[in-house]
């Protein structure tokens, strides 16, 4: 009931529309209830051989009531449809907006397909019930109530017999609700798993085909489909049992009315028109009871889906800006400090960072090196507050980043990763993502500095060329240069390069490094490097191992006092020639 009550809260902005829909439904039901009474009187007129003025008036009244019911029903459906679509809009907007606020740790523990299922399948179930199902239930109850009142007015004794099955219908409906809700919730969960599997297969289609694993993936997908089918059959069996049972019970009252009422007509205690009117009211009860069975199932599905949606909406963002938080100091130049930071990811026991302290003066370039899993990416992720340390502090220009406004902080830091993400948009729009207000000239200048203009102009439509999903229509090096141009355009105080030249050949790498050397002038830069040639761009080097800072200094100093760094250099040959910091021409000759 708590979930159901919360779902009803989404109707609050549409109170007037819901009230209007209810009034229209009530009016339509009033006309519906009036029709059997008019029909009964018409039959009595025919039976009395009165085919004159009264019969014509009754026929006109029936037509008029039918037309009014038609108009009211159309109006009710239009209003209900608008409410339904409005709820869908609000739910999508709220769910997506909330997802944007959640921290990176939340998404790392979720499958994309699961989230998409909640934003589509679950949301549709909630939308249908709140927009239509609830009104159908109210309308059914109104029909039953008004019909029962009319029946008691016409023939109290027959009404009592006819309504005997109603309590049984209520009990069966309650039992159905208790048993179907968990079954339907499991169906929704398995559909989400199926959606996640499908999304993963489509996103990873290149890997699937590269390993000729189509049959294997089909088997996995078939397993997911089978699980959905099996659980859906559980829900279907419940529905197949209870819905016909709910529809069957009113027929007991129908049989009693035919038996008792028929005898009264034969004995002359009841007119034929009165019996027909009463019988029509009884038939009006059967349809709404069937509808109730279906809509109660929809209510259970909506409640199950609502619970899954609320699991996301109830998740509070782990990283938020303090109230009235300022941005980074306006006179700051990009000094970065890590003070005794320790970080453990949720759900793990091992610290990925352990008491790390570093001070990077403004305008300097620091390279972070070390084995995979040493904590390099985790360390730089603390600066834009993608994560918060368990202990210690991270400072930007003397201000603790946890006290700053998040959007302003992240606008001061740009990250170029080893596998940059591009949106399904034009090349121009992907670069302008760093500054949506940038002019075409600014976008082109950023691309020029990233050594990207050449290949962009060679594309079919130049800067207007649409990039495929995740940028898969471009090579890895092209994607990285567009990502670098995007970072350049944002003009950050601090630039983070997470192995940003890993997917390019030697010639392209040289071009990008020439561009980066220009961009990095006077800007604090943190470089995560797995290729030793990249370290040539750095003023200082920090060596991390197992989450600890083991050494910090220049290349020459580290060669003398760090065995780990010496091993990295030795294994990195022939790239180590880049560490001599010689001019580019000399470096290439050395290669």
Q: Residue 587's pLDDT is what? A: 36
User: What is the mean predicted confidence (pLDDT) over 433-461?
Assistant: 87
Average pLDDT estimate for 229-258: 82
What are the residue ranges of helices labelled H in 9-52? 15-47
Query: Given a cut of 80, is residue 505 above it in pLDDT?
Result: no
Q: Tell me how far apart the alpha carbons of residues 400 and 325 are, in angstroms, rounded to a whole number.
A: 11
Residues 358, 420: Cα–Cα separation, whole Å:
27
Average pLDDT over residues 253-264: 81
What average pLDDT does the segment 529-540 reach?
76
| Cα 98 to Cα 320: distance, rounded to the nearest angstrom | 12
Report the percent of the chain where pLDDT is more than 90: 8
- Angstrom distance (rounded) from CA 451 to CA 440: 17
Residue 464 phi/psi, 5-degree rounding, is -90, 0
Look at 256 and 543; give whichever has higher pLDDT.
543
Mean pLDDT for the stretch of residues 460-478: 79
Domain limits, the chain: 2-313, 420-491
User: Which of these ranges, 179-183, 433-437, 459-463, 578-582, has the smallest mean pLDDT?
Assistant: 578-582
Query: Which one of 3.90.226.10, 3.40.605.10, 1.10.1740.10, 3.40.50.300 gives the CATH number of domain 420-491?
Result: 3.40.50.300
Decide if 22 contacts 138 (C-beta within 8 A). Answer: yes
Percent of the chain topping pLDDT 70: 91
Comparing 473 with 76, the larger pLDDT belongs to 76
590 pLDDT higher than 80: no
> In a 3-state reduction of DSSP, which class is residue 183?
helix
Coil, strand or helix at 526: strand
Of 176-185, 301-310, 389-398, 429-438, the poorest mean pLDDT is in: 176-185
* Residue 89: predicted pLDDT: 86
Lowest mean pLDDT among 64-68, 327-331, 505-509: 505-509
Find all residues with CB under 8 Å of 299, minimum gap 6, and list them.
Answer: 4, 129, 133, 134, 137, 177
Q: Is the pLDDT of residue 591 over 50?
A: no
What's the confidence (pLDDT) of residue 448? 86
pLDDT in tens, 338-384: 999 999 887 677 788 999 999 999 888 898 988 878 888 889 989 98
Q: How far apart are CA 489 and CA 433, in angstroms?
A: 9
pLDDT of 580 reads: 41
Contact (Cβ atoms closer than 8 angstroms) between residue 397 and residue 334:
yes
The pLDDT score that the predictor gives to residue 359 is 92
In which element (H, E) is residue 497 found? strand 494-498
Residues 6+ away with beta carbon under 8 Å from 343: 351, 352, 353, 375, 378, 382, 387, 389, 390, 547
Cα 78 from chain centroid (whole Å): 28
* pLDDT over 70 at 327, yes or no: yes
What is the DSSP secondary-structure string of 241-278? HHHHHHHHHHHHHHHHHHHHHHHHHHHTSS-HHHHHHH
- The strand order across the sheet containing 494-498 reads 413-416, 494-498, 524-528, 365-369, 540-545, 548-553
Does 469 score more than 70 pLDDT? no
> How far, rounded to the nearest angstrom, does the alpha carbon of residue 49 sit from its chain's CA centroid?
67
pTM above the 0.85 mark?
A: no
How much is the average pLDDT of 20-49?
Answer: 81
For the stretch 545-589, pLDDT in tens is: 888 998 888 888 888 888 888 877 776 544 444 444 433 333 333
Nearest residue to 498 (alpha-carbon basis) of 585, 582, 414, 589: 414
Asked whether the predicted pLDDT for residue 85 surpasses 90, the reply is no
Q: How confident is the model at residue 52 (pLDDT cuts 50, 70, 90)?
A: low
Q: Pick from 534, 229, 523: which is nearest to 376 by CA?
A: 534
Cα separation, 73 vs 136, in Å, equals 12
d(CA 575, CA 570): 9
Angle, CA of 327, 365 and 400, to the nearest 5°:
30
Q: What is the per-residue pLDDT for 307?
A: 84
Instruction: Tell me the pLDDT band of 97, cut-offs 50, 70 and 90.
Output: confident
Give the residue-averaged pLDDT of 203-226.
Answer: 81
Provide the CA 83 distance to its chain's centre, in angstroms. 21
Taking the CB of residue 36, how many other CB atoms lie within 10 A of it? 22
Instruction: List the one residue out of 57, 20, 25 whose CA is nearest residue 138.
Output: 25
Per the CB < 8 A criterion, the answer to whether 90 and 119 are in contact is no
DSSP string of 318-364?
SS-PPTT---S-TT----EEEEEEEE--TT--S-SEEEEEEEE-TT-
From 3.40.50.720, 3.40.50.920, 3.40.630.30, 1.20.1560.10, which CATH number describes the 2-313 domain?
1.20.1560.10
Candidate from 32-41, 262-271, 490-499, 577-586 with smallest mean pLDDT: 577-586
> Looking at the predicted structure, is the pLDDT value of residue 460 above 50?
yes
The span from the CA of 178 to the CA of 581, in Å, is 73
List the single range of 93-102, 167-176, 232-241, 325-334 with lowest mean pLDDT: 167-176
**409: which residues sit within 8 A by CB, 6+ positions away?**
327, 328, 384, 385, 396, 401
Q: How many CB atoms lie within 10 A of CB 9?
A: 9
- Would you say residue 504 has pLDDT above 70? no
More confident residue, 287 or 151: 151
Q: Please report the pLDDT score of residue 579 as a whole number.
A: 43
Sign of CA dihedral 183, 187, 192, 193: positive
Report the alpha-carbon distance of residue 327 to residue 346 in Å, rounded.
28
Distances (CA, A) of 421 to 235, 418, 430, 436, 453: 41, 10, 9, 17, 19
Query: Nearest CA to 413 among 312, 470, 335?
Result: 335
Instruction: Kindly report which listed range (406-410, 531-535, 536-540, 579-583) carries the lowest average pLDDT score.
Output: 579-583
* pLDDT above 80: residue 135: no
């Amino acid at each position: 009931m708590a979930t159901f009550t919360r779902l009803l809260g989404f109707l609050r902005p549409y109170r007037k529309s819901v009230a209007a829909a209810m009034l229209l439904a009530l009016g339509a039901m009033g006309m519906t209830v009036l029709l059997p009474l008019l029909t009964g009187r018409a039959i009595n007129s025919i039976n009395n051989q009165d085919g004159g003025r009264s019969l014509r008036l009754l026929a006109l009244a029936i037509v008029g009531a039918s037309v009014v019911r038609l108009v009211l029903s159309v109006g009710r459906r239009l209003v209900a449809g608008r409410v339904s679509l409005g709820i869908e809009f609000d739910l999508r907007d709220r769910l997506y907006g909330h997802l944007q606020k959640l921290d990176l740790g939340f998404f790392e523990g979720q499958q994309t397909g699961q989230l998409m299922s909640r934003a589509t399948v679950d949301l549709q179930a909630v939308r249908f019930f709140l927009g239509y199902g609830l009104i159908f239930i109210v309308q059914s109850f109104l029909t039953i109530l008004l019909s029962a009142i009319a029946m008691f007015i016409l023939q109290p004794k027959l009404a009592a017999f006819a309504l005997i099955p109603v309590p049984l219908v209520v009990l069966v409906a309650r039992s159905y609700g208790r048993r179907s809700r968990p079954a339907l919730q499991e169906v929704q969960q398995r559909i989400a798993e199926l959606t996640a599997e499908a999304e993963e297969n489509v996103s990873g289609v290149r890997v699937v085909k590269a390993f000729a694993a189509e049959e294997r993936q089909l088997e996995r997908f078939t397993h997911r489909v089978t699980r959905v089918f099996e659980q859906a059959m559980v829900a279907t069996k419940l529905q197949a049992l209870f819905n016909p049972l709910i529809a069957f019970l009113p027929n007991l009252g129908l049989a009693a009315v035919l038996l008792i009422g028929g005898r009264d007509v034969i004995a002359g205690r009841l007119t034929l028109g009165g019996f027909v009117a009463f019988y029509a009211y009884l038939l009006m009860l059967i349809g709404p009871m069937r509808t109730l069975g279906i809509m109660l199932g929809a209510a259970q599905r909506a409640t199950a889906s609502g619970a899954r949606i609320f699991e996301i909406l109830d998740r509070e963002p782990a990283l938020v800006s303090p109230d009235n938080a300022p941005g980074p100091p306006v006179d700051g130049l990009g000094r970065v400090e890590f003070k005794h930071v320790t970080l453990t990811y949720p759900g793990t026991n091992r610290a990925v960072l352990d008491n790390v302290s570093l001070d990077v003066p403004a305008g300097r370039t620091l390279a972070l090196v070390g084995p995979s899993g040493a904590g390099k990416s985790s360390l730089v992720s603390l600066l834009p507050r993608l994560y918060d340390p368990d202990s210690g502090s991270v400072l930007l220009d003397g201000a603790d980043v946890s006290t700053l406004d998040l959007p302003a902080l992240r606008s001061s830091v740009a990250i170029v990763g080893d596998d940059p993400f591009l949106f399904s948009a034009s090349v121009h729009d992907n670069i302008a993502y760093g500054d949506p207000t940038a002019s075409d000239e600014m976008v082109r200048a950023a691309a020029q500095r990233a050594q990207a203009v050449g290949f962009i102009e060679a594309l079919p439509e130049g800067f207007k060329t649409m990039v495929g999903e995740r940028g898969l229509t471009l090579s890895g090096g092209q994607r990285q240069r567009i990502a670098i141009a995007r970072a350049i355009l944002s003009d950050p105080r601090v630039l983070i390069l997470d192995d940003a030249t890993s997917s390019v050949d030697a010639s392209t790498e040289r071009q990008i490094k020439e561009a980066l050397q220009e961009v990095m002038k006077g800007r604090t830069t943190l470089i995560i490097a797995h290729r030793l040639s990249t370290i040539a761009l750095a003023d200082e080097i920090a060596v991390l191992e197992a989450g600890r800072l083991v050494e910090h200094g220049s290349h020459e100093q580290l060669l003398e006092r760090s065995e780990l760094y010496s091993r990295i250099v030795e294994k990195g040959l022939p790239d180590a020639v880049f560490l001599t910091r010689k001019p580019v021409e000399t470096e290439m000759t050395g290669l």
